[in-house]
């Protein structure tokens, strides 16, 4: 993280790295959940009648999971919300809350793979991993966006709606494959004059573990005259589909990668989840408002629905090169239409590693990071402070502190 | 140090807004910290201008003054509000502000306007009067009277509902002596301000 999230190469993103000799002084590791500990020590109130209740804080926890320690707090907007109504007139002034609205739409998606448990036999390997993927799309229709963001008056004979749709799935990957040197010059490709070209393929048998999707629509329609003969009533419908482990079917995926090491220069390209599809058997439900009682009820529409899902292809390219005692690393990832870039520097001075980096995030904003590391034998301790743009509704960057352990090769 | 092994995280558009519109815009909009939702209702707009302006007189001078008794100005007006508002907000107070322009063309006297509010299925005039506005009429004088009240629990409940009814009456008293009373009364504003606090999902 101190290097801006830049990758030094790993076999999860690029299977060919299984065949690349480990570089001396490189490490792998994980960050400690110090942010979760802080939240657990001072949990937010979920009771709306509690004066400490802050829905913005809760939403921030959902949007920006506190694995790392967040250096700052989420302040709720302090303004009143003003609604003006009259016959044929409705206007809403949200004040500062406007900045929290999604504009033409907000999308969040993430995919995370667990570290794979694998065994190798020469170039061959087999293992198991779990991948979790989710995405959510929030959309205000244009009339509602204008009414809430621009405080434009509501119009007659118009539907105002907010649509929130999301999907999440967890899939087990039973993996096998091979990674081999394709071309090698010298004993160590990282030595001066050395060179190595490595390639790898990985085939995964996929098994669905859990799946859920939903589409929520909250809407109201205005009549010929606003507040004329009928009141404006907010309505809600929700469509849900889910499947558990028993409903998880089978599928397949294919990964391929290549790495070139020439002296100090290293470059890798990996493509994961090619053709990844999973079959499911699940249940469809719909939540609707009872027109008589006004209560919302969930109704099972189909308790044995079959469908298939896919995992987004992930493209990863990375380069590393030491220059004058400084290790320079950069990478670019692309998945599901989103491209992110990272660049980082590392310099060891005695037992202390100084690191800095930056990244272009998903909103195309520049974020920075800096940190320190030290090691005692094969184990290292790292700390980093990084900026991010993930704080809920915040116009300014957020800061987070990460602490992690590294294991040196 | 990588954040996590094999970790790919992607976002697009404005990431800050993921849940907020669903939460804030339509359901938890009142949950803006410790602040309020202010609902301004232009009650007068629900009535035709012809209903809220009336001429009176001539009322002849009589010892003690001639009284018309309580006469209907607006028999029943439907006031449609925001459905489900009470589901998403705790209404704390409601303030009613009524502005009336009056003018006596001739003669002195007095008028009393009464305002009634009720549920849709109830005749408003069978319920307690919500506001009484006394007007003093002086010959050849135009005046504007502004009266404010804070609604009681019953009125709070009405503004929590989807709809209500409004009725307005007048009670005129003529002069004891001098010229006959004639003039005009115009209701220029009936504004309700509802202050509501948060009430979660």
* Residues within 8 A of A (CB atoms), B 131-150 only: none
Choose the closest CB to A87 out of B9, B21, B46: B46
Does residue A74 surpass a pLDDT of 70? no
Percent of all residues in chain A with a pLDDT value above 90, rounded to a whole number:
41
Using a CB-CB cut-off of 8 Å, the residues of chain A touching B23 are 55, 59
Taking CA atoms, what residue in A is nearest to B41? A85
A51–B33 CB contact, under 8 Å? no
A285 has which bridge partners?
Answer: A240, A300
B159 phi and psi angles, rounded to 5 deg: -75, -10
Alpha carbons A278 and A275: distance in angstroms, whole number: 10
Q: Which residues contact A291 (CB under 8 A, 6 or more apart)?
A: none
Residue A48, pLDDT score: 62
Residue A378, pLDDT score: 87
Alpha carbon A317 to its chain's center? 18
Does residue B133 surpass a pLDDT of 90? yes
With beta carbons less than 8 A apart as the criterion, state whether A371 and A32 touch: no
Using a CB-CB cut-off of 8 Å, the residues of chain B touching A138 are 17-19, 21-22
Compute, in degrees rounded to 10, the torsion defined by CA atoms B80, B84, B89, B95: 10
B6-35 tens-digit pLDDT:
333 333 333 333 333 333 333 343 333 446
Highest mean pLDDT pick, A59-68, B2-11, B96-105: B96-105
Does residue B169 surpass a pLDDT of 50? yes
Token digits of residue B4: 């996590």
With beta carbons less than 8 A apart as the criterion, state whether A60 and A391 touch: yes
Task: Tell me the mean pLDDT in the region A364-369.
Answer: 88
Alpha carbon A343 to its chain's center? 19
Residue A49, pLDDT score: 64
With beta carbons less than 8 A apart as the criterion, state whether B153 and B18 touch: no
Residue B103, pLDDT score: 96
Comparing A230-239, A325-334, B50-59, B182-191, the range with the smallest average pLDDT is: A230-239
Of A90, A388, A111, the closest CA to residue A228 belongs to A90
A81-104 tens-digit pLDDT:
888 988 888 888 887 777 777 666
B167 has which bridge partners?
Answer: B116
Q: pLDDT higher for A268 or A223?
A: A268
Q: pLDDT higher for A48 or A307?
A: A307
A108–B15 CB contact, under 8 Å? yes
Q: For residue A55, what pLDDT band results from cuts at 50, 70 and 90?
A: low
Q: pLDDT higher for B37 or B187?
A: B187
Between strands B37-42 and A81-86, the pairing is: parallel
* Residues within 8 A of A (CB atoms), B 53-112 only: 78, 80-84
Alpha carbons B111 and B44: distance in angstroms, whole number: 20
By CB atoms closer than 10 A (0-12, 13-18, 19+), residue A231 is: buried
> Does the CB of B9 have a partner CB in chain A at under 8 Å?
yes
Q: How far is CA A94 from CA A18, A108, B31, in A?
A: 54, 24, 12
Alpha carbons A155 and A147: distance in angstroms, whole number: 9
Q: pLDDT higher for A142 or B82?
A: A142
Q: pLDDT higher for B91 or B96?
A: B96
A202-218 tens-digit pLDDT:
999 999 999 999 998 88
Alpha carbons B170 and B72: distance in angstroms, whole number: 6
B147 has which bridge partners?
Answer: B98
Does residue A260 surpass a pLDDT of 90? yes
Helices first, then strands: H and E counts in chain B: 3, 10
Highest mean pLDDT pick, A51-65, A304-318, A378-392: A304-318
Kindly report the pTM of this predicted structure.
0.69
> Does the CB of B20 have a partner CB in chain A at under 8 Å?
yes
Alpha carbons B118 and B166: distance in angstroms, whole number: 7
Comparing A51-60, A106-115, A332-341, B45-54, the range with the smallest average pLDDT is: A51-60
Does residue A244 surpass a pLDDT of 60? yes
Residue A232, pLDDT score: 66
Comparing A22-26, A320-324, B174-178, the range with the smallest average pLDDT is: A22-26
Residue A297, pLDDT score: 81
Alpha carbons B49 and B33: distance in angstroms, whole number: 40
With beta carbons less than 8 A apart as the criterion, state whether A243 and A269 touch: no
Comparing A169-173, A404-408, B27-31, B112-116, the range with the smallest average pLDDT is: B27-31
Residue B88, pLDDT score: 64
Q: pLDDT higher for A128 or B26?
A: A128
Using a CB-CB cut-off of 8 Å, the residues of chain A touching B18 are 59, 62-63, 102, 106, 108, 136, 138, 392
Alpha carbon B163 to its chain's center? 12
Does residue B140 surpass a pLDDT of 80? yes
Alpha carbons A251 and A275: distance in angstroms, whole number: 9
Comparing A287-301, B48-62, B97-111, the range with the smallest average pLDDT is: A287-301
Highest mean pLDDT pick, A187-191, B26-30, B50-54: B50-54
**To the nearest whole number, what is the mean pLDDT of chain B?**
81
Comparing A93-102, A375-384, B132-141, the range with the smallest average pLDDT is: A93-102
Residue B30, pLDDT score: 37
Of A22, A14, A29, A28, the closest CA to residue A267 belongs to A14
Alpha carbon B87 to its chain's center? 21
Token digits of residue A141: 């229709």
Give how far A181 is from chain B: nearest CA, Å: 23
Token digits of residue B191: 């504004």
Residue A67, pLDDT score: 84
Alpha carbons B120 and A78: distance in angstroms, whole number: 36
Alpha carbons A114 and B103: distance in angstroms, whole number: 82
Residue B129, pLDDT score: 96
Of B198, B192, B197, the closest CA to residue B97 belongs to B192
Strands of B129-137's sheet in order across? B67-80, B163-173, B109-118, B129-137
Percent of all residues in chain B with a pLDDT value above 70, rounded to a whole number:
78
Does residue A237 surpass a pLDDT of 90? no
> Does the CB of B196 have a partner CB in chain A at under 8 Å?
no
Q: For residue B74, what pLDDT band results from cuts at 50, 70 and 90?
A: very high
Task: Tell me the mean pLDDT in the region A165-173.
Answer: 93
Q: How many CB atoms lie within 10 A of CB A337?
A: 10
Token digits of residue A308: 């298939």
Q: Over the Cα atoms of chain B, what is R_g?
A: 25
Task: Tell me the mean pLDDT in the region A342-357.
Answer: 92
Q: For residue B166, what pLDDT band results from cuts at 50, 70 and 90?
A: very high
Task: Tell me the mean pLDDT in the region A59-64.
Answer: 72
Residue B16, pLDDT score: 31
């Amino acid at each position: 993280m101190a290097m801006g999230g830049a990758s030094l190469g790993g076999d999860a993103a690029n299977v060919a790295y299984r065949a690349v000799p480990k570089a001396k002084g490189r490490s792998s590791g994980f960050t400690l959940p110090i942010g979760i500990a802080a939240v657990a020590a001072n949990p937010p109130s979920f009771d709306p009648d509690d004066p400490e209740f802050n829905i913005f804080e809760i939403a921030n926890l959902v949007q920006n999971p506190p694995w790392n320690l967040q250096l700052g707090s989420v302040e709720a907007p302090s303004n009143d919300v003003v609604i003006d109504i009259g016959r044929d007139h409705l206007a809403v002034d949200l004040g500062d809350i406007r900045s929290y609205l999604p504009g033409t739409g907000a999308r969040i998606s993430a995919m995370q793979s667990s570290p794979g448990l694998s065994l190798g036999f020469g170039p061959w390997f087999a293992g198991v991993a779990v991948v979790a993927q989710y995405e959510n799309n929030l959309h205000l229709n244009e009339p509602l966006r204008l009414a809430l963001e621009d405080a434009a008056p509501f119009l007659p004979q118009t539907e105002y709606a907010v649509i929130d749709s999301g999907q999440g799935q967890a899939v087990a990957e039973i993996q096998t494959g091979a990674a081999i040197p394709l071309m090698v010059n010298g004993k160590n490709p990282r030595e001066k004059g050395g060179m190595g070209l490595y390639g790898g393929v990985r085939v995964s048998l996929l098994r669905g573990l859990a799946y859920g999707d939903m589409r929520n629509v909250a809407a109201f329609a205005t009549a010929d005259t606003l507040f004329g003969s009928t009141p404006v009533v907010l309505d809600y419908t929700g469509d849900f589909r889910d499947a558990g482990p028993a409903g998880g079917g089978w599928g397949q995926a294919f990964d391929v990668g290549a790495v070139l090491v020439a002296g100090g220069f290293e470059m890798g390209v990996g493509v994961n989840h090619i053709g990844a599809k999973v079959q499911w058997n699940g249940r469809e439900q719909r939540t609707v408002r009872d027109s008589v009682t006004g209560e919302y009820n969930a109704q099972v529409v189909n308790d044995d629905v079959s469908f298939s899902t896919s995992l987004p292809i992930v493209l990863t390219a990375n380069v590393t090169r030491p220059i004058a005692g400084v290790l320079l690393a950069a990478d670019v990832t692309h998945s599901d239409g989103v491209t992110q870039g990272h660049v980082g520097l590392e310099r060891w001075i005695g037992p202390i590693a100084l690191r800095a980096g930056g990244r272009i995030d998903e909103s195309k904003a520049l974020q920075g990071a800096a940190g320190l590391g030290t090691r005692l034998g094969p184990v290292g301790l790292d700390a980093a402070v990084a900026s991010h743009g993930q704080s809920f509704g915040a116009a300014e960057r957020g800061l987070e502190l990460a602490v992690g352990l590294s294991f040196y090769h | 140090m990588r954040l996590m092994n094999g970790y790919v995280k992607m976002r697009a558009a404005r990431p800050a807004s993921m849940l907020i519109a669903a939460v804030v815009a339509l359901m938890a909009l009142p949950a803006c910290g410790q602040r309020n939702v202010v609902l301004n209702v232009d009650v007068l707009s629900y009535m035709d201008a012809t209903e809220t302006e009336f001429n009176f007189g001539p009322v002849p001078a009589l010892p003690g003054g001639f009284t018309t008794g309580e006469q209907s100005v607006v028999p029943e007006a439907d006031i449609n509000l925001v459905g489900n508002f009470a589901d998403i907000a705790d209404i704390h107070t409601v303030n009613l502000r009524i502005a009336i322009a009056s003018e006596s063309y001739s003669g002195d006297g007095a008028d009393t306007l009464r305002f009634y509010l009720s549920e849709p299925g109830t005749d408003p005039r069978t319920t307690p009067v919500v506001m009484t506005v006394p007007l003093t009429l002086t010959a050849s004088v135009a005046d504007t009277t502004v009266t404010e009240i804070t609604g009681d629990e019953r009125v709070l409940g009405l503004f929590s509902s989807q709809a209500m009814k409004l009725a307005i009456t007048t009670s005129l008293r003529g002069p004891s002596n001098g010229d006959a009373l004639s003039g005009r009364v115009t209701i220029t504003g009936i504004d309700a301000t509802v202050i509501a606090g948060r009430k979660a999902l």
